[in-house]
Chains A and B, each alone.
Chain A
Amino acid sequence: MSGSTKYIDARGLPCPRPVVLLRDAISAGEADILEILVDTEAARENVRRFAVHSGCSILLSESVAEAVAEGMSHGETPEKVIGRRSHYRVRIGIRTERETKTHAESEQDSSGGASTDRGTVPDTGRWGGEGPGSATEPHGTVLPVVGSTVLLSSDEMGRGSEELGRLLMRGFLYALSENDIIPKRIIAMNSGIRLAIAGSESLVNLQKLAGRGVEILVCGTCLEYLGLASRLAVGRVSNMYEIAGFLAEGRTLSL
């Protein structure tokens, strides 16, 4: 099913119709490539941002100029060109798998993006696509799993035995730090914040995840309540508004 393209003509449609059409087409999942036409710069930017935020790659984003003539009807040759107008074409690649690759990996991966441990999804770098955040980013971008959050509300994994729970959490964070696919962010709350403080046995693994682009957020109230604010050793302090916002986005793994 590779390479099928769906075309959407959103010219002349008021905001937010272009993005709505794009969203519906992405979730319908009928094609690998969507090509959408819009006629304002604002619409182009909205479409681009939405596509990137949804984990898609921008394959092409160009403006197309066309002549507008008087007297054109039913195949007659235009007599007089009265002006030019432009519209914008944005071609979007739908990703079927989420991957994490660093800039260095995309640049230097000798297998060219189709190695066995990442399935057969071609990487953004080879399509010349654009990753989140920058229109001028070179091939290869940091692509965490879009919108995926891991919530650590305890320093133990599961209940029943404290010692076992802490052992499992250590093992989980170690294995996660070595995994190809990693979350976009980790939120630590309640006793979960103990994992992120100086002396934590999981600190090095959280630091490794942070080094790979995972955002580590630690609840400020929890730090204060447990008297550990001065010992935070990875990530940054967050608040309930921000945390609630991320959790409300969905795609959260809660441990």
Chain B
Amino acid sequence: MAQNLGVDVGGTFTDVIIFDEETRELTIDKVLSTPTNPSEGVISGISEATNKAGIAVADLSLLFHGTTVVTNMLLEETGARVGLITTNGHEDVLHLARAWTPGPLYGWMGMEKPEPLADLVNTRGISGRISSPEGDELAPIDKEEVLATARELQDNGIESLTVALLNSYLNPTHEQEVRNIIQEEFPDLPVSISADIVPEYGEYERTLTTVINDYARPQVIDYLDELDESLKAEGSTAPMNIVRSDGGLMSSTAAQRRPVELALSGPSGGVVGAATIAAKKGVPDVLTLDMGGTSTDVSLIEDGTPETTRQTKVGYREFKSRAVDVNTVGAGGGSIARVQLSGSLQVGPESAGADPGPACYGQGGEEPTVTDANVVLGRIPSSVQLGGTMELDHKAAYEALAVIAEQRGHSVEEAAQAVIDIVNENMHGALRVVSVERGYDPRDFGLVAFGGAGPMHANALANIMGVYPLIIPPGPGVMSAFGFLTSDIQNEFSETYLQTDLDVEGTDVYEALQELKVEATEWLDSEGVAPDKHAFEYYADCRYYRQDIQMSIPVDVEKLRSGSGIGEIKEDFEVRHDQRFGFSLDAPLEIANLRVIGKGTLQGVSIEEHEVGDPDPSAAQTATDEVYFDDTVHDTAIYDRTALRPGHVIQGPAIVVEDDATIVVQPDHEATVDRYANIEITRGDVR
């Protein structure tokens, strides 16, 4: 009896989901996270959920784990003391930070620049030099100097060490040599070299990314070791798969070496899950909307595959790590609304958080939030109890919004509607960044909405943007944990190539990709993936010679050896360049990087298909409430999602209530429960 478990550690809650391969049933559980020692919350969540499912921890066969541990470490600056070894003369690389100051003019006056994660006190330059672009040794590494430097840093109390030398992306032997020298003397000190973490040009970004890796490493090593031991103590023999920022998986051991790949581990799960659900449904092109209490993550999925990016941003720091291209805005249920001096209404990015929370929580919060606005409009039925226990304080919500109403000269309902319009607009802006700005027409896409607040706002957004169908999956509040179960083992292998189509032939590119494939194969073997489960994707990051853009072009490797050679890559690139920017150039094609993604398929969950029945949903209707839509009050039916069955059709306006989310169906819209138990919403004129 195989049982697979996904666990998602968030800032407030740890979500657990168990899939029973035999009965095909899902068990869902939520426990409070334990930020001071995150493995505690994971363990308690796992034991609670296994109890609920009536199984033992020892029964679990596959574990999938995503975590915000690294994200929070970066945001709160609670990582390790990192030592940094650079090339002589370049010790200030992180301190000078490419000289960037924010806009507009005079932006430097208010700039808050955090200290580098590797303190200058713990940064040293060493001799040795690699030439560019040849990658030859100009000056050797001095072993005695390296040892003396490492001892000094060790005396300073460093807990991990980064070696990031100039031009190591062309030739990593110096970095490797330095690492070997140091590890011989200090075998317990975690050491990362930059050519391993980001084998690409750009010393600032490469150094920063590697330092972030080492900043997170000591804690991640301990955290995963602890988790491993606790699970073993409970009798578990299931391998632990950790979710990466790009939505793929890697083993616990691999994660302990490359924790920087976990920086966006949390949000990636929901995107991967949404991709699976939408593809299963036959809607392979969708936008995703994951709206929580403080922020919203949006992304674009094309042909069942989430868009990924090489630039990951957490707080002030932007570094190079492959991640699902999630765009985050400070718009959530707890976002606070304020009227500015100039009279403009602003919602977020400040949030009332969980404590005191929105005014309607009745915990002393007084500032008006998005959730309060939803309460005033009747979008959250009075029957709903937050977290199953908390009564909504309608009066407090009303009073909080009355302040905005007075400042704007509106009725309280109008003020609440304005707050909703603005927060929707902020999310609309985020969705445009991932769609319109990248040359995609959102009207060619559907929308998958999840997270605690997503289903409440998604219909209005779909209406503004014309993105249909809108899909609300079952269990929208634990979508990330569900998504983990749908992930594959995955890692990326890349090299900086910097060759133009004038210099190399298709066969040269083929050879280079084959070398990367060998690396990827070795890695998949080491992760225990059987050879028949290996899969590979090939990409060339292209641009016109000397541009800064890097467009990832999928490569058919076999065609590289045939007549078309690189020509096909160039054609594909030119089409995309023209689609996105409206022009092409008579210039050579430059391949900046080559990448191979090695994948091993794991089957954590399968999506159950149901018989479709009668369209009449009246058995699931629990009440009729007055809800405010389009400047007036509508009698609105309230439904219980657990009582809805595949085939049921609901006419908007309507509200569907479930444990962890509330779904708003706007007027002139129709909601259908599909055969996978998703709620699908469409507008009369768009199908």
Q: Do A and B assemble together?
A: no
Query: Which residue numbers of A lie inside 8 Å of B, CB to CB?
Result: none
Query: Which residue numbers of B lie inside 8 Å of A, CB to CB?
Result: none
